[in-house]
């Protein structure tokens, strides 16, 4: 009953993964359902036999200290419960090995129909690097219905993260000093992403979004972002997905309140804090470019003036 209640109140389909929007996610779901079928069959079979034996061989009117019914081994049963699990495991292994290539390997695509985006995991945000050098923070912009290859990594000085967009495939670790690869091919839409590996005090705030748009819109976005690398839009992304993870303007949070802190409008001081860290705050922008710092200062200056009614 508890199992059924948990399934009923789950908001993402209960015991099943979320609805897939990419071929590799679909194949992952099929593998999951195949394994679940055997697991459910074995679970209910074993529990059913256990309950039947409890009822059949209960003590009943037998004295508390009398010996129970004496049973001897059965060669047929012993062979059966050895062979059946072997067959089940062989079926599962065979099915998974057939599915693995379609999960791990991106389908063939022309150069015009595929894109490679680098996914960088940082404490405590996601940063995306596009082929032309453009950058976005928190939200990945990707072309619809095209193969999108993802190179997932973390800086040498960071910690282990795990990039996971449930609707677009399995999670992939962002390991310091190493690059892992995954892919997706999805229709236009927005897909929730998160870090699925405990990476520190604000791990639960390390969220992200994959925004899949028509390819023309994707190209327009990366062209505009590359031509204006210090845009206030990038600064807003940095504030919302990096600074605001630990800070608020008007009250202390994980870190102190920043509303009346002059560092928000001082590019030199802000650059030092972001690149070197201070106190318990890690160097969240240790490899940020000058343009990224400028973008953040543009936004925080406007933010502070706005919050003060200026």
232: tokens are: 């206030």
Question: DSSP character for 107?
Answer: P
What percent of the chain has a predicted confidence (pLDDT) above 70?
94
Q: CA dist 208 to 71, 88, 137, Å?
A: 60, 39, 9
73-77, 150-154, 206-210: which range is least confident on average? Answer: 73-77
The mean per-residue pLDDT over the stretch 180-209 comes to 94
Per-residue pLDDT, averaged over 22-50, amounts to 91
- What integer pLDDT is reported at residue 9 of this predicted model? 67
Q: Quick one: which H or E segment has residue 117?
A: strand 114-122
Q: What is the mean pLDDT of the chain?
A: 89
pLDDT digits (tens, 9 = 90+) for 112-163: 678 999 999 999 999 999 999 999 999 999 999 999 999 999 999 899 999 9
Query: Distance (Å, rounded) from C-alpha 219 to C-alpha 304?
Result: 33
115-227 shares its CATH topology with 233-307:
no
Overall fold of domain 233-307: Cytochrome Bc1 Complex; Chain D, domain 2 (1.10.760)
- Tell me the average pLDDT across 92-120: 86
- What mean pLDDT do residues 257-266 have? 86
CATH superfamily of the domain spanning 115-227: Cupredoxins -  blue copper proteins (2.60.40.420)
Tally Cβ neighbours within 10 Å of residue 171.
Answer: 18
The pLDDT assigned to 232 comes to 95
Comparing 3-7, 123-127, 136-140, 222-226, the range with the smallest average pLDDT is 3-7
**Model's pTM, two decimal places?**
0.85
What local confidence, expressed as pLDDT, does residue 102 receive?
86
User: DSSP string of 28-95?
Assistant: HHHHHHHHHHHHHHHHHHHHHHHHHHHHHT--TTS-TTS--------HHHHHHHHHHHHHHHHHHHHH
Res. 106: pLDDT tops 90: no
The ranges assigned to domains in the chain are 20-58+73-105, 115-227, 233-307
Q: What pLDDT is recorded for position 10?
A: 63
In tens, the pLDDT along 63-72 reads: 878 887 777 7
CB 212 within 8 A of CB 187: yes
DSSP, res 251: S
pLDDT at residue 149, rounded to an integer: 95
pLDDT (mean) for 215-236: 96
What the block records as the tokens of 182 is: 């995954």
Q: Give the per-residue pLDDT at 310.
A: 43
Q: Please indicate whether residue 45 or residue 112 has the higher confidence score (pLDDT).
A: 45
CA distance 150 to 131: 11
């Amino acid at each position: 009953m508890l199992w059924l209640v948990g399934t009923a109140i789950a908001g993402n389909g209960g015991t099943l993964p979320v609805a897939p929007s990419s071929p590799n996610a679909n194949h992952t779901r099929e593998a999951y359902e195949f394994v679940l079928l055997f697991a459910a069959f074995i679970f209910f079979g074993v529990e059913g036999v256990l309950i039947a034996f409890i009822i059949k061989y209960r003590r009943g009117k037998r004295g508390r200290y009398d010996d129970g019914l004496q049973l001897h081994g059965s060669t047929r049963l012993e062979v059966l419960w050895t062979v059946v699990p072997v067959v089940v495991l062989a079926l599962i292994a065979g099915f998974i090995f057939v599915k693995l290539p379609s999960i791990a390997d991106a389908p063939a695509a022309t150069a015009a129909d595929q894109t490679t985006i680098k996914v960088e995991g940082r404490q405590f945000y996601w940063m995306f690097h596009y082929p032309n050098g453009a950058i976005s923070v928190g939200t990945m912009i990707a072309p619809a219905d095209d193969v999108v290859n993802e190179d997932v990594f973390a800086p040498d000085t960071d910690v282990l993260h795990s990039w996971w967009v449930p609707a677009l495939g399995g999670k992939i670790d962002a390991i310091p000093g190493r690059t892992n690869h995954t892919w997706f091919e999805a229709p236009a839409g927005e897909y929730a992403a998160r870090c699925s590996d405990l990476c520190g005090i604000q791990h639960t705030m390390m969220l992200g979004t994959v925004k899949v748009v028509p390819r023309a819109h994707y190209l327009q976005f990366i062209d505009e972002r590359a031509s204006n690398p210090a845009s206030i839009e990038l600064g807003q992304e940095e504030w919302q997905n990096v600074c605001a993870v630990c800070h608020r303007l008007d009250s202390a949070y994980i870190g102190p309140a920043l509303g009346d802190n002059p560092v928000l409008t001082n590019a030199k001081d802000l650059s030092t804090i972001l690149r070197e860290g201070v106190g318990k705050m890690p160097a969240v922008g240790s490899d940020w470019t000058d343009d990224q710092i400028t973008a953040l200062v543009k936004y925080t200056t406007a933010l502070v003036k706005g919050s003060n009614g200026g």
